[in-house]
Structure 1
């Protein structure tokens, strides 16, 4: 690319020289009255060959640039997606990291032409080489045509007068620099405009928009931001002054100053045998000089901006997830035969930006193969404790020992391979039933028998059979996701409208997803956060019977540890132990009978529920 850009930068000089030779040949023929057809044809043939060569070089260079640009674009997009997926929640919770990732995203979008500061990527910085080469070729032409025959002051005056219209235009409308107050204001206005548009188009906000009559406020807020972005709120007198100044500049300035551009050549023509071709080449070179200079300045300015974004991209690639332990502390996860043993000691956690800890001095011991239920009122910290236990978020003080090893010494990927869960806020993917269930264990996603077995275990077989296309039925979810192997209608068929499910039906799909992995021998911990909140009593019993079945081996021995988070005390009774949480800590722990004998908070809740 460097060689191509250097050569392409010099092409305008060769083009002007070749065309000047043809003009000179025509001028000579006209003045002499004798047309040298052979000489003229030879010049025309040389020009044709030059055009063919230039076109071929441009085509080859463009093809090379497309390959390099597509490769670089794929690389940065792949790297961006990679570190986005690698980043965990604790890392993304830091404001500095979010800002860094946002600047890295701008860098990546610049390769697609979607950058906030223009159609530019650092790869286009190679264009600077071509522009410098082109600029030098124009300067060489001008110097060879004027120096020696024209005094230096005359040349300087000519160049300054030629540049005057551009300088005045720049002075009236200086180019905004990146990161100025105006840019920041425009960014805020754009964000406000997009936020109002999102509110207007989102079905999720429609009930509150109707209830609180937010329509007029949304429309007014959008209109103010949009008008400001479009420049429709300028004062009329200012607009009139702008129009008047532009008319004056366009009518007089360019014409007045351009008359002085050709002073050097006119002097040369008066004192030498300078030809019409030379004059044409001089004029073209002078005009191209300022055009190339302006383009070069603009490109340099954007390249300077892009350096900082490229630095953010490079820094983002070096981010290490906070949950990832240092290499020297990593311990490989070694599964136990009877499930996962968990020992939580004096655990505390506070969400970023909050002054009140969500977990405080939590102590909990779960033996290998035990089933433990965690109960408590809303906001008591049950879900937060499950996320900490699953290594979705990190904790502050205290420690968690898993099979006798500090949980922070396990790589999250290794640990997660031995865990499955149903989250309270599970994902609803806009793909087929098979895709929604199969993501629970991706290697088995396209194994119809494995998917169907997970659906049967979750008691969702009747539901799936009732759907229009069975496991291939496309569901109307919250997140769009499709694969090229499933979830599409057969060739020639009419695509069906995505099928909607109720809350309880979606919960069965989420349970099926967890069961894709739960049956596997390497999985030793099952965590369920309100897994049956939308199910009826019969479905709840079937679910717990299934958990009891898959958590034991063929001899009836426990091989998996189970943690339930629930507000249903009838569910909690089925567990071996029950932990009562209040205000972020465990206040009571024991069997159902032991907690009833304490006559504490659990006993009061239980007697109130029957």
Structure 2
């Protein structure tokens, strides 16, 4: 359980794009937000425009208030009649503008909040939709899981963040343009000072955004290991062994060690980022107060009025904030684009184009044929299956015998098109599986793997999972459970088929291993059209007599079906019409029980060893 080392950490510069190049996802993010909710996106854009214009207008009105007050005070000192109504009109106008500004900001927050919820769901659905198109081999690839972890951790919030920053950039651009119109009246150089004052903090922000992203990619395997350790420590299906073997402190220590490793990298980055930000921020502050001194000196010598001085000071203060916000938005957009690359890297994972379109073969009496089939798992050094040749006709039963890891389950994965052979071909009804429509093919097969799923759902839904088209069909639940010999214990449950299974949810009931296997058997019978039944160690949690009873029951109902059984119990295996012994991915013996005993080979040896246990 050592933390996995990804190739991402070995190539920290592999995803450092040019600054402008990282903005290639901006348009896609905007399109994504727009398609999520057009009314909310339009409202956000309109409110952003209003919020961009209002600050300059408020500053202008504020200057008019000050000048009106100064003029009224001068008239009062001279003993002239004072018209105070002009001052009040400007005050009322500013109050209305401030209320409008507050309303626009609240509206922006409202739109962002609703968009965040909708967009988070939309992106998560995109991630899960993509997962449904991927092949089993990709789910068994550690680097793929790193990619998936990165996409799920950050990408769901980044599209809205990118659009929000884009609108914020537009808002501040509008505000800065309106400030510029007023500042030109003071000095054309004022805008240049304003822009240069915000550059230092921008440089610091963008410099460390790239480093943070590189760290994010590098740490994905360690993050996955932490999540796995959380699962082992806190899940009920691991709790027994964790407690019995005293694994808790060991696993928790590894969990802490990964945190300290990641925290050390975070702390170093944060320290550098803040120190640079502080140093460069001081430069911007000095520029701001230099502008203050310039405006004050100009006012003292009577070149601008007191109201204009107030306005220009406000414009400089708000202008610098706008410049900082703009540059920060650009830096944030740069960072969001980096993180969005993880989402689209995942979404653009190539998938195999679906196989053929056939829904039936030319010869329904031919059954299943394996012709010189070989297969090697991706990344494996040696083949798992070598030159497999088999023929199983309708109405026949086949038992696969061999040690764990000999290739028995792999052969079933090839039959169900979870993998494709590297060499040779597999035919059903005289037609290569590559030419079959995958949905039509899988409707023909009822399969129970040794590690079948135990869904934290209702009993009936656990059975119904065998045929998604009849998932909530209560009559089919009953029929399938009768065939799977599960009805007796289901009827004894408090709410029968409506009983919640598992301990994750309220009033959930846990079943014994044998009861779960009967549920899985019933699930295999949900598909009425399935004429191929595959049982991969389906009764490992049952005693030998129960397994024999179930297999006899299976055989009696499967006269026109192909039954493939993987089992280590020879009391059951001997009932099959064909028995295939697999060792190291090769078929070493093939025949019925009597023939294989007569050969006195590997099968006979294993049968004799097991028989001794009953003497």
Match of 1:512 in 2: 522
Q: State the SS of the aligned residue for 2:413.
A: helix
SS in 2 for 1:362: strand
How many residues in Structure 1 have an aligned counterpart in Structure 2? 560
1:176-255 alignment runs, 5 A limit: 176-179=209-212, 183=216, 194=227, 197-202=230-235, 214=247, 217-227=250-260
Matches of residues 391-402 of structure 1 in structure 2 within 5 Å? 391-402=417-428
Q: Does 1:280 align with 2:310?
A: yes
2:61 maps to 1:18 = yes
- Measured against aligned partners, the alpha-carbon deviations of 1:529-582 in whole angstroms (never above 9, x if no partner) come to 111222234433442243234324xxxxx2x22111112222222222221111
Using the alignment, how far apart are the partners of 1:180 and 1:338 within structure 2?
A: 56
Contact 2:401 2:566 in 1 (8 A): yes
Alpha-carbon distance in structure 2 between the residues aligned to 1:7 and 1:353: 57
The gaps in structure 2 that reach 5 residues or longer are 1-41
SS where residue 383 of structure 1 aligns? helix
In structure 2, do the counterparts of structure 1 residues 604 and 472 end up closer, same or farther at CA, with 3 Å as the change threshold?
A: same
CA distance in 2, matches of 1:548, 1:172: 70
Task: Find the aligned partners of 2:112 and 2:265 in 1 and give their Cα distance.
Answer: 40
Q: Secondary structure at the match of 1:474?
A: coil
Secondary structure, aligned partner of 1:526:
strand
Per the TM alignment, residue 28 of structure 1 is displaced from its structure 2 partner at its CA by 2.4
Aligned residue for 2:21? none
| Match in the other structure for 1:303 | 333
For the 8 Å contact 1:106–1:309, the answer to whether it is kept is no
User: How big is the shift at 1:171?
Assistant: 6.5
Cα drift, residue 293 of structure 1: 2.3
Pair 1:135 & 2:183 matched: no
Q: What residue number does 1:598 align with?
A: 599
Q: Aligned residue for 2:581? A: 580
Q: 555, 558, 571: which is aligned to 1:551?
A: 558
**Could you say what secondary structure the match of 2:358 adopts?**
coil
Deviation at 1:430?
1.5
How far apart in 2 are the matches of 1:577 and 1:173?
68
Shift of 1:38: 2.2
**TM superposition shift of 1:316:** 4.1
Instruction: Give the counterpart of 1:79 among 118, 122, 126.
Output: 126
Aligned mate of 1:163, from 188, 191, 197: 197
2:15 is matched with which residue?
none
Q: TM-score scaled by structure 1?
A: 0.79
Q: Is the 8 A contact 1:343 1:366 kept in 2?
A: yes
**For structure 1, which segment, 52-61 or 462-471, has the greater mean C-alpha deviation from structure 2 after superposition?**
52-61
Q: Hey, what does 2:39 align to over in structure 1?
A: none
Show the 5 A alignment for 1:396-475.
396-475=422-501
CA contact (8 A) 2:402 2:582 kept: yes
Cα pair distance change 1:339/1:288, threshold 3 Å:
farther
Alpha-carbon distance in 1 for matches of 2:374, 2:264: 52
Other-structure match for 1:562: 563
Pair 1:289 & 2:319 matched? yes
Distance 1:79 1:259, change over 3 A: closer
Q: Are residues 52 and 298 of structure 1, via their aligned partners in 2, closer, same or farther at CA, if it must alter by over 3 Å?
A: closer
Cα contact 2:365–2:429 (8 A) shared by 1: no
Q: CA RMSD in A?
A: 3.9
Long gaps (5+) in structure 1: 113-118, 483-494, 553-557
Deviation at 1:29, TM superposition (A): 2.2
Match for 2:394 among 368, 387, 393? 368
Distance in 2 of aligned mates of 1:190 and 1:545: 49
Residues 1:421 and 1:220: Cα distance change in structure 2 (over 3 Å): closer
Q: Which residue of 2 aligns with 1:116?
A: none
Corresponding residue to 1:331 among 357, 369, 388 = 357
Change (3 A) 1:546 1:19: farther
8 Å CA contact 1:339, 1:561 repeated in 2: no
Measured after TM superposition, the shift of residue 254 of structure 1 is: 8.8
Matched, 1:37 2:71: no
Measure how far apart 1:350 and its partner are.
1.7
Higher helix share: 2
